[in-house]
Structure 1
Amino acid sequence: MMNKCFIIVLVSVLMLGGNKPFSQQSETALALPNISIQESIVFIAGFDESDNSYYSNAKQYFQKQGMPIVEGLHTISEIIAYINNAGENQVRFKEIHVVSHSNAWLGMSMRIKENGERITLKSLAHAVREYNVESICKEYTGNTKIIFHSCGLGENKALLTELKDVFKAGQVSASPYFNVFGGKYAEHYLAKPYYGYYPTAESKGPAFLSQEFRENYPDVHIDWLTALTTRQESSFGEAYSFKFNIPVEWEFTFENSNDMPKLADKEAIMDWVSESPEMAEVLFALQIPIEKFRWRSSVNGNTLIIKGKTTVLCVLAPILQSNGANEYQNVRVEDRSLYQIL
C-alpha cells in the first residue's frame, strides 16, 4: 500500500520598508472631521532581489507622476487593512495601484498574509471561504479603480474577478502583457511574451531553441536567435529574453519497499508521472510538456521522491504604436486592447 505525500514546489528566479503616510495632503486632511479626500495611491508590494530592479523602477516611475507611494506591505491582508484604516479616517482613493510580480504558472508573488500562500485563484478563494482575508467596507472602494501592475495577470480573468470581489472595487484592471519599468526607451511600457522550454541544464543551444520558437510561432516575425541571446533591451523595439526555472516535486511513501517501482531512467519516471492522476493534473495545469522537464528520482527509506525541473525561456517583444510611429505604445489603463478591465 502506498501513502501519498503530495508536494508541489514551484519556484521562479524572477520572483521573487516601513509604511509611508498617505501623503502630506492626506495627513492634514485626517485631522479634519467629515472631510473626504480622493486621491491615488501606489502599493509597492514586493522588494527587489539580485539584479532585478522591477520594484525600485516602478517606485521611481510613480513618484515622477506625483503619486504617493506605500512600501513594506507585501500581502493582500496588509493592503486591505491600510485601505480600511484610511476609510475610517475619511480618505477615499480614486485609484489604487498595486505593483507585484506575477506569471502564468505561479500566480502573483504577493501573499495572502505574512508567511502565507502566494495569491492564486485557488489560494485566494480558500482564504475568503476560511475568513483569512479581512473584509473591505464597500463604501470605501465602491467607486475605486484598482490597477494591478502584475505581468500577465490580465490573462487570468477568473483571478481578476476574485480580486475585484475581495476589494469590492468599482473597477479592476490588469494587462495580459508584461509590465516593464525603467526601460531604455520608455520609463513604462508593455511587452508581449513568447515562451519556450527545455529540461534544466540540458539545453541544446540557441540555434536549436530558436528553431523551436519558429515552429511554435510561425506567424511571428522575430529574429528568435538574436532575441534568445539578448538578455536586456539593447535597441529600440527589438525583442529580448530572460529565463527562469520551475521545479516540481512529489513524495510517495510505501508501507513495503518491495512495492516501490524501479525507475531506472527518465523515460520510466515520465511513464510513472503520466500515469499518476495527481501529477498529470499538475502538469496539465502548467501546460508544459512532460519531456521539457529534467526528471530525477531518489529513495529515502520507504519514500520515493520524484523531482522535475524545466527552464522557461521568455522572449519579450515591446508593443509599438500601431500608427507606425517609432514609439512604444502609450500605457493607458483605459485602453481595452492593452488591459483586461472588469
Structure 2
Amino acid sequence: MKSLIILLLSCFTIMSCGDSSTDHLEEPTKIIQKQSVVFIAGIDEDDNSFYKNAKAHFSQQNIIVVEDLHALDAIISWLNKNADDKVYDQIHIVSHSNPWRGMALLTSEDGARITATSLKNSTLPKPNGGITENTKIIFHSCGLGANKDLMKGLKLAFSSGVSPSLYASEYFNIFGGKYASHYLAQPFYVFYPTANSPGNKTLSREIAQKYPNANLDWLTALGTREETTSGAIYSYRFNIPVDWEIVFEDASKIPELDSADSIMDYILENDEFAFALYELGIPMEKFRWTSSSEGPILKIQGKTTVLTALMPVMNTYEPAEYTAPDIMHARLYSQF
C-alpha cells in the first residue's frame, strides 16, 4: 500500500470561545485549523500518467495529498477521522470518469464504479465533522459536470446536517500538459469496434457530421496523439467494455452465437441487455462482439474504442494562454 504523503498545512484561523468578560476566568482559546486536501483516487495503467501528473501538480501547492484511497466510503471515513478541530476549506478528488460508465472511483473497496444507480444502492458512512456549508468539494473527473444525477447523488453523500458546494466540469481534465500542469479541454467523440478501426479518414468524416458547427481539422486532430503547439487540438483514445454472463439450466440450451450479427440479434431479443446498451448511449454496431461458453454459462463480451479529439480551452483575452481551471467560472464548472 502506498504511504500517506502529508505536505504543508494551510493557514489557520483562531476562533474564540466563551464570554470575554474579565469578571471570571476565560475558557481556553480553541484553535480551528482550516485545511485543504486532495485525494489521488486511482492508479495509472499502461502508459497513462493521469494520476501521477495530478499528484505532481497538487504537490506544488499548500495542500495535503492522499493517494492510497480509491473508494468513496474510505474517503469519507478519512475525512471523519481527521476532522478533529479542523474545517475543510477545499476537498479535491481526482478520478477517471467518462459520460458512459460514471467514475472509476468505487463506492467501496469491493463495490462498483460510482454511477447514479450504484451510489443510490450503496451504504456509505455519514460525514460527521470538518465539512461546512463553506466547504468546496471539487471533482477532477472528465465530463462529470454533465452528469447531473450523479452529482446530486454525490452531494447527498457529502451532506449531513450541512450541505457543501460541489464542483465539476463538463470538459476533460488534463494534468501534466506541455504548456500547463492542469487545464481543461473540450471533447469530441467518435466510436469504432476495438481493433477494427475503419481508418482516420472515415472517422474524420463521421465526427465532422456529428459536430457540423465545430469547423476543425478533424483528420489532423485524430492523427495527433499529443500537444504539438500551445492550444492545438489532438486526440486520446480509451476503451469501454461490456461483459455479460447468462446462466442456463442446461448447457444444451445455450444458443450458438457464431458471428457479431447473431450476438447483436440475441442482445436485441433480451430486454435487459438491450436496455443496458440503450442507457449506455453507444450504437451497438460500434462494439466488437465475441461470445463463449463454459458449462451452462454463456459469456458475451463487447468492446468499443472511444477516439476523443481534445480542444484545449484557451484564454479569451490572451489567446496564446490556457484558461485557468477556475471553479468559480460558470462556463468551465457546474456548481451543485
Q: State the TM-score, normalizing by the size of structure 1.
A: 0.86
Offset of 1:24 from its aligned partner? Answer: 5.1
1:73-92 to structure 2, matched below 5 A, reads 73-87=69-83, 89-92=84-87
- Is residue 133 of structure 2 the alignment partner of residue 142 of structure 1? yes
1:112 and 2:107 correspond: yes
- What is the rounded CA distance, in whole Å, between the counterparts of 1:264 and 1:44 in structure 2? 43
- Identity rate of aligned residues, in percent? 45
Number of residue pairs aligned between Structure 1 and Structure 2: 318
AA aligned opposite 2:150: L
Q: For each residue in 1:196-250, what CA deviation from the matched residue of structure 2 results, as whole angstroms up to 9, or x when unmatched?
A: 1111111111111111111111111221111111111112211111212222122
**Offset at 1:291?**
0.8
1:305 CA drift (Å): 2.5
1:125 paired with 2:110, answer no
Secondary structure, counterpart of 1:48 in structure 2: coil
Task: Summarize the alignment of residues 271-282 of structure 1 with structure 2, pairs less than 5 Å apart.
Answer: 271-282=265-276
- Select 2:324's aligned residue among 326, 330, 334: 330
Matched residue type, 2:76 = I
**In the alignment, which residue of structure 2 is the partner of 1:4?**
none
Gap regions ≥5 residues in structure 2: 15-27
The answer to whether the 8 A contact 2:10-2:34 is kept is: no
Say which is worse superposed, 319-328 or 114-123, in terms of deviation.
Answer: 319-328
| Structure 1 CA distance for aligned equivalents of residues 99 and 233 of structure 2 | 20
Alignment of 1:282-321 (within 5 A): 282-321=276-315
1:233 aligns with 2:218: no
Match of 2:57 among 61, 69, 77: 61
Letter in 1 for 2:98: N
Superposed displacement of residue 144, structure 1: 0.8
- Point out where structure 1 has 5 or more consecutive residues left out of the alignment: 1-16
Distance in 2 between the 1:290 and 1:20 partners?
A: 44
The aligned amino acid for 2:155 is: K
Confirm or deny: 8 A CA contact 2:80 2:130 kept in the other structure.
no
Question: Where in structure 2 are the equivalents of 1:1-342 lying within 5 Å?
Answer: 17-21=2-6, 23=8, 34-87=30-83, 89-127=84-122, 132-137=123-128, 140-168=131-159, 169-257=163-251, 259-323=253-317, 325-342=319-336
Q: Give the conservation status (yes or no) of the 8 Å contact 2:100–2:280.
A: yes
Q: CA RMSD in A?
A: 2.2
What letter matches 2:265 in structure 1?
A: D
CA positional deviation for 1:257: 4.9
What is the alpha-carbon distance in structure 2 between the residues aligned to residue 222 and residue 303 of structure 1? 47
Q: Secondary structure at the match of 1:141?
A: coil
Residues in 2 aligned to 1:100 and 1:319: alpha-carbon distance in whole angstroms: 20
User: Residue deviations 1:126-162, cap 9 Å, x none?
Assistant: 11xxxx3111126633321111111111011111111
Separation of aligned partners in 1, 2:315 and 2:221: 20
Report the CA distance shift for 1:208/1:61 in structure 2 as closer, same or farther (over 3 A). same
Aligned-partner Cα distance in 1 for 2:251–2:109? 39
Measured against aligned partners, the alpha-carbon deviations of 1:143-197 in whole angstroms (never above 9, x if no partner) come to 2111111111101111111111111142111001101111111121100111111
CA distance in structure 2 between the partners assigned to 1:185 and 1:24 by the alignment: 28
8 Å contact 2:43–2:51 — kept in the other structure? yes
Q: Distance in 2 between matches of 1:156 and 1:105?
A: 10
Q: What is the CA distance between 1:282 and its match in structure 2?
A: 1.2
d(CA) in 2 for partners of 1:195, 1:25: 40
Bigger proportion of residues as helix? 1
Q: What amino acid maps onto 2:152 in structure 1? A: T
Q: Based on CA coordinates, which of the two structures has the bigger radius of gyration?
A: 2
CA change 1:172–1:25 in 2 (3 A) is: closer
Aligned-residue offset at 1:321: 2.0
Secondary structure of the equivalent of 1:140? coil
CA distance in 2, matches of 1:226, 1:80: 44
Shift in CA distance, 83/103, structure 1 to aligned 2, threshold 3 Å: same
Indicate the SS of the match to 2:31: coil
How far, CA to CA, are the matches of 1:259 and 1:54 in structure 2? 46
- CA–CA distance in 2 between the matches of 1:49 and 1:201? 19
**Relative contact order (alpha carbons < 8 A, sep ≥ 6): 1 or 2 greater?**
1
1:6 counterpart residue number: none
CA distance in 2, matches of 1:305, 1:259: 14
Q: Is the 8 A contact 1:247 1:308 kept in 2?
A: yes
1:86/1:92 contact within 8 Å kept: no
